[in-house]
Chain A
Amino acid sequence: MYAFDYHRPATLKEALSLVAKQEDAKIVAGGHTLIPTMKQRLAAPGHLIDLGRIPDLVGIERTPRAVTIGAMTTHGAVAESADVKEAIPALSELAALIGDPAVRHRGTIGGSVANNDPSADYPAACLALGATIITSKRRIPAEEYFRGLFETALEDGEIVTGVSFPIPHKAAYEKFRNPASRYALVGVFVAKRPSDIRVAVTGAGSNGVFRWAEAEEALAKRFSAKSLDGLKAPADDLIGDLHADAEYRAHLIGVMARRAVQAATER
């Protein structure tokens, strides 16, 4: 790891002023992507700004229609939250599938959505549930937020402060994970919302998380795993790598989607 200067702001305001001041600054949340990347020298920021001691960024708030999670809330806290378990159990289950227990004690939801790894879990939940990404500047609908591989709508100096998830009627997440990295080889989040049904796929798209329109249309007619029988995701824009080729990922999308719908209907 290359040397850097370390900053630990106590407030969001202080963090924003540090980010604005330092040209080659990186923000660290839980650090479970950034620190490994820095160890490999794939990232070499001159300044590291640690959000780990800003109390306002931690916490889970439940209202009748939504669950809002502070950016620095860990995956472990989301997985264990009684409010999340009751309001959106699929989200609690998703958090419990990230990494392993020690990783979940450090990794955060804000870090995950700011990084937008194409194999991360949270982007699928954000897109399927129609979440709003809350930043230091504005509120961004998930559909406009995720822009591609590791790309988001975030501007320079803009910090994710939380994510607000509308409470769905039913939802479920099914993940086929890479047994070594524990990232999603394919993960499908299905949500039956008051207004529509959404199916979001992570781990597979060569442009990151995406919605599977054909499955959504089929499920709109009847919300049943049977509605997806014979439906196959096109392999054209899928990732193919040593872990799984595009055809296999396309197959897994169908399997995971059916399992997710089944799990959601059984709730």
Chain B
Amino acid sequence: MSSVSLTVNGKAVTAEIEPRTLLVQFLREHLRLTGTHVGCDTSQCGACVVHLDGEAVKACTVLAVQADGRQVTTIEGLAAGGDLHPMQAAFREHHGLQCGYCTPGMIMTAVDLVRRKGHALDETTIRHELEGNLCRCTGYHNIVKAIAAGATAMGQAPARQAAE
């Protein structure tokens, strides 16, 4: 067993875990943060994307022990109290989902995209940047619209961005 101490959504967490525990397993099964999904389990689909020290990573391909001492943000950590994060609100407004399975990963990827590329995102950039996130029901059209709108909204309401 290994001891890990990390910050998850702003809260300090310490646990004794087997080193082979994946970060996504740790989040879902130990911390019961089941918003982060497991889709393909082979780092292709992006349903498990979380932020590790502010950067989007696929939590199915990171060991929980590798996150020791670091900051993790999951989909549960984006909203500020009862207020949805602007990117979450944009997904709701633009109907950027159907079954919702890929949505947490899409949103975490989108927030990371805004961090890297700013608030004015064109469609080509968004589609290209979504190459690591698969959606099997919407056809991406509304996801792309939601991300463009969410990126703009994040620029207008910086105070409501994630606590990370």
Contacts and interface: CB of A to CB of B under 8 A. Distances in A.
Given A31-B61, A35-B61, A101-B112, A3 B19 contact: yes
A3 B19 CA distance: 7
A76 to B, nearest CB: 8
Contacts of A62: none
A182 B58 CA distance: 16
A180 B44 contact: yes
A100 B22 CA distance: 20
A36 B109 CA distance: 21
B62 A106 contact: yes
A32 B20 contact: no
A105 B132 contact: no
A48 B61 contact: no
Nearest to B61: A35
Given A6-B63, A31-B66, A105 B56 contact: yes
A101 B43 contact: no
A104 B49 CA distance: 13
B114 interface: no
B65 A103 contact: no
Contact of B66 (A4, A5, A52, A182): A52
B151 interface: no
Contact of B65 (A1, A3, A6): A6
A240 interface: no
B56 A102 contact: yes
Nearest to A3: B20
A181 B52 CA distance: 23
Given A99-B132, A101-B112, A101-B129, A31 B63 contact: yes
Interface string A100-121: 1111011000000000000000
Size range of the interface on A?
20 to 34
A22 to B, nearest CB: 14
Contacts of B65: 6, 8, 50
Given A31-B62, A36-B43, A102 B19 contact: no
A222 interface: no
A35 B24 CA distance: 13
A246 B68 CA distance: 45
Given A102-B58, A102-B109, A105-B56, A6 B2 contact: yes
Nearest to A7: B19
A135 B90 CA distance: 48
B66 A102 contact: no
A1 B61 CA distance: 12
Given A6-B2, A31-B62, A52-B66, A103 B18 contact: no
Most buried by B among A8, A35, A100: A100
B39 to A, nearest CB: 13
Contacts of B63: 6, 31, 35
A39 interface: yes
A11 B55 CA distance: 24
A103 B129 contact: no
Nearest to A99: B132
A97 B6 CA distance: 31
Contact of A32 (B19, B61, B112, B131): B61
Given A52-B66, A101-B109, 20 more contacts: A3-B18, A4-B20, A6-B63, A31-B66, A35-B63, A36-B61, A39-B41, A48-B19, A100-B131, A100-B133, A101-B56, A101-B113, A101-B116, A102-B46, A103-B132, A105-B55, A105-B56, A106-B57, A180-B44, A182-B131
Q: Which 5 pairs between the two chains have the least Cβ-Cβ distance? A: A100-B132, A6-B19, A105-B55, A1-B20, A102-B56
Interface of A: 1-6, 8, 31-32, 35-36, 38-39, 48, 50, 52, 76, 80, 99-103, 105-106, 180-182
18 contacts: A1-B22, A2-B20, A31-B61, A31-B63, A31-B66, A32-B43, A35-B61, A35-B63, A36-B42, A39-B42, A76-B55, A99-B132, A100-B46, A101-B129, A102-B43, A105-B55, A106-B61, A106-B62
